[in-house]
């Protein structure tokens, strides 16, 4: 997705024959498009960096104590205003939406890793069964 986004935004910003169509000659719109390009790239680079740190941890290159350091957490990435994204071509909207969705999924995954869900207490019946099994 990172390569796809880079290719799309580079091509679109460089020289698109249809750039004059649909208000692309407006400097503010072009700046907004460039900003969205940076937001998509930032989201994807934060995800890639987080995944690489997870791989390093799994391989033992980073220990548990180091993994708790803020530098190994998913960095903050600004979201995109839906109204702004709606004014862009379909391909740009698709990349913006996909990068936001992936970023949110990785953020939820990181949250579950950092703050694992609390196990529900066992039921009284299960506790009694466990006591009986240890007694005999």
What residue has token string 């039921």?
Answer: 123
Distances (CA, A) of 129 to 4, 120, 121, 122: 56, 17, 14, 11
What is the maximum alpha-carbon separation in the chain? 83
Please answer whether residues 79 and 100 qualify as being in contact, where contact means their C-beta atoms are separated by less than 8 angstroms: yes
What residue has token string 């799994």?
Answer: 58
Please answer whether residues 73 and 133 qualify as being in contact, where contact means their C-beta atoms are separated by less than 8 angstroms: no
Query: Which residue segment(s) compose the domain that 42 sits in?
Result: 2-135
Q: Name the pTM for this structure.
A: 0.74
Q: Could you report the per-residue pLDDT of 117-131, keeping only the tens digit for each?
A: 776 667 788 888 888
Q: Could you report the per-residue pLDDT of 56-82, keeping only the tens digit for each?
A: 999 999 998 898 888 999 989 998 888
Number of domains present in the structure of the chain: 1
Domain CATH for 64: 1.10.8
């Amino acid at each position: 997705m990172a390569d796809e986004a880079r290719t799309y935004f580079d091509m679109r910003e460089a020289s698109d024959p249809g750039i004059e169509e649909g208000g692309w000659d407006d400097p503010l719109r072009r700046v907004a498009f460039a900003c969205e390009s940076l937001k998509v790239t930032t989201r994807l680079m934060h995800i890639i960096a987080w995944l690489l740190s997870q791989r390093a941890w799994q391989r033992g290159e980073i220990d548990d104590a180091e993994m708790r350091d803020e530098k190994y957490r998913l960095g903050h990435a600004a979201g995109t205003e839906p109204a702004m994204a709606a004014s862009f071509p379909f391909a740009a909207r698709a990349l913006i939406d996909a990068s936001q969705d992936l970023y949110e999924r990785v953020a939820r995954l990181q949250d579950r890793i950092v703050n694992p869900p609390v196990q529900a207490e066992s039921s009284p019946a299960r506790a009694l069964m466990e006591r009986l099994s240890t007694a005999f």
